Chain A
Amino acid sequence: MSKDHIDVNYVANLARLNLTEEESSTFQRQIEDILGYINKLEELDIDDFEPTAHAAPVYDRVREDVAKSSLERDAFLNIAPDTINDQLKVPKVIEEL
């Protein structure tokens, strides 16, 4: 990957997406266009400015540490794609040695 070249299939893998051949060629073209436009920001000399992460800066707001009941477990289990013994079921993630 050259410095300014996006390989959409490589990035899609990082984002846990599969792309069809048609998607990958369309996205490649469209995202290159968008990145070309975004390069407009290179015109600005901004190293002296602090980044803004939050439009109304408030930091480290915490609520009082009081125990209270959480949301209903069944409401969450009912919308899960697969459950077993009141737990979420997932494919095997540990391989045998």
Chain B
Amino acid sequence: MSLASQSITELRKQLTAGEVTPLQIIDDLEKAVLASDSEINAYLSYDFDKAREMASNADLSLPLGGIPIGIKDNINTLGEPCSCASQFLVDSYIAPYDATVISKLKAAGAIPLGRLNMDEFAMGSTTGNSSIKRTNNPHDLDRVPGGSSGGSAAAVAANSAIATLGSDTGGSIRQPASHCGIVGLKPSYGRVSRYGLVAFASSLDQIGPCTKTVADAALILNVISGPDEMDSTSLEVDTPDFTKNLNAGVAGLKLGIPKEYFTEGMDPAVREIVNSAIDKLRNAGAEIVDISLPHTEYAVATYYIIAPAEASSNLSRFDGIRYGNRAEQSGNLIDLYKDSRSAGFGSEVKRRIILGTYALSSGYDHKYYDKAQRVRTLIREDFTKAFEQVDAIITPVCPHAAPKHGENSDDPLKEYLEDICTIAANLAGIPGISVPAGVISVDDRKEMPVGVQILGPHLGEVAVLKVAQEIENFL
């Protein structure tokens, strides 16, 4: 079996036993990428020679020693491109520093390898907003991998990566993980430093792992967590060993099922998979409790004010002055800004900048931004109350399996409404994981994976991972 199709946990055992070398892993990974990525298109770029150089010096005594990790193309890695899949940055921007998560991966012996495709500036849920290439779902090339971390999820699913990092602002790790049949974890807000992650919506963004197993996600979370003086929103809290007690079981745990997440428009086959996972958790000794998160129906509207508002501010740095695209022969400074930005940004990015600028503009900020922030408080309080009653919450990740390419491309609102199950976790800052729970039949007798989401209280990743491990053990 190719080493590329194994988990971190399996590879670490073989590496420390001296049965395989880091160079063999890189070689197998290169073969896998060359064999499959012309169809999947998960990678924007890679440098296997540089990876071999790092592999030959890998310290196998470290927790991720000798393990290559793919990186979403919005996380800065010194000396490598970081295009955010945008024409504004592609071919001109080379990262002048390491993001904190990259420094931490390197310090733990891991080898950052390859840049993964995404929706431009992480805005989207199909990876179809990449300005560079279209990534296909490994389970059906006619379908999207989900997004925005579509490349990160598809590479893991296609066994052309051992594990990857993604970023999640409204579901951008969990939703593609569900669509591709892998594990995707969004940590609690403040658990992982955002320094070096190109900011989309700063109060919602969080970096997390896309992996083949729950244990691998826990292992990466161990490494990338912790306070960072370069990110004032990272929290001064201890990092527990997330890999411990993964198999402690769910007996005695109280798990909440929020009725608002099982919407009318949901695919019945997805509902059946989620219900079947819940039944198995009940049989494994968990107490299943019906709960209500009454403000769920306002989450999408709240998110699509707050996220574009923050994005419109964050993306003002892309002005053509210091890096990235600069329009030629613009008459004055304002024209240079406008020409550089208009040529560099794609439609979804422009749409969200305009929406966000409007929501923050004089006379409208109270009606939109301030109001959304108050509703955000209600959504947070829903979860606070729920977690007084239960240890974790079980929901779908997405009402449907991965759609075909271009299905909602002219109707952004319809696409936004598909985020209903994932965005509240970002608004509330709580951790969430998507873990594969089954497959459903779609046309042409193809089978598409469907994940189940587990949400926990803020900094409650231990419970989330334990329930996820139980679901993984069922399959």
**Chain A residues proximal to chain B, CB less than 8 Å:** 6, 8, 11-12, 14-19, 23, 26-27, 30-31, 33-35, 37-38, 40-41, 44, 46-47, 49-56, 58, 61-63, 71-72, 75-76, 78-82, 88, 90-93
Contact = CB atoms under 8 A, between A and B. Distances in A.
A76 to B, nearest CB: 6
A91 B330 contact: yes
Contacts, number: 172
Given A75-B97, A81-B320, A82-B326, A38 B305 contact: yes
B380 A55 contact: yes
B375 A41 contact: yes
Given A61-B232, A81-B92, A37 B301 contact: yes
B96 interface: yes
B373 interface: yes
B373 A51 contact: yes
**From B204, B235, B358, B428, residue with most partner A Cβ within 10 Å:** B358
B321 A88 contact: yes
Contact of B372 (A19, A41, A62, A76): A41
B6 interface: no
Given A61-B232, A72-B96, A81 B374 contact: no
Contact of B96 (A11, A75, A81): A75
Interface string B158-200: 0000000000000000000000000000001110000000000
A55 B307 CA distance: 13
Nearest to A90: B321
A30 B252 CA distance: 48
Contact of A81 (B236, B323, B378, B426): B323
Contacts of B342: 17-19
Contacts of B371: 41, 46
B229 interface: yes
A80 to B, nearest CB: 6
A31 B351 CA distance: 7
A53 B338 contact: no
Contact of B427 (A44, A55, A79, A93): A55
B363 to A, nearest CB: 8
Contacts of B93: 79
Contacts of B337: 16
Contacts of B353: 15, 17
Contacts of A40: 297-298, 301
Contacts of A11: 354, 357-358, 361
Given A16-B337, A30-B413, A51-B376, A23 B96 contact: no
B323 A71 contact: no
Q: Which 9 A-B pairs have the closest CB atoms?
A: A55-B429, A51-B373, A75-B96, A81-B326, A63-B229, A46-B374, A52-B376, A15-B357, A55-B189
A91 B332 CA distance: 6
A47 B354 CA distance: 27
B301 A38 contact: yes
11 contacts: A15-B353, A17-B350, A31-B351, A31-B354, A38-B301, A44-B298, A44-B378, A52-B373, A53-B203, A56-B235, A91-B331
B338 A18 contact: yes
Contact of A79 (B320, B323, B380): B323
A88 B326 CA distance: 12
Nearest to A73: B96
B458 interface: yes
B354 A79 contact: no
B376 A16 contact: no
**From A11, A50, A58, residue with most partner B Cβ within 10 Å:** A11
A71 B97 contact: yes
Given A41-B375, A51-B374, A56-B189, 5 more contacts: A15-B354, A46-B375, A52-B374, A78-B96, A93-B332
Contact of A54 (B96, B203, B338): B203
Nearest to A24: B354
A51 B377 contact: yes
Contacts of A41: 298, 301-302, 305, 371-372, 375
Interface in B239-290: none
Contacts of A16: 316, 319, 334, 337-338, 341
A72 B152 CA distance: 30
Contact of B304 (A14, A34, A63, A81): A34
B370 interface: yes
Contact of A71 (B96, B370, B427): B96
A65 B182 CA distance: 43
Interface string B301-336: 110110000001000100111111110001111101
B43 interface: no
Given A15-B353, A58-B235, A81-B323, A38 B203 contact: no
Contacts of B140: none
A50 B377 contact: yes
B389 interface: no
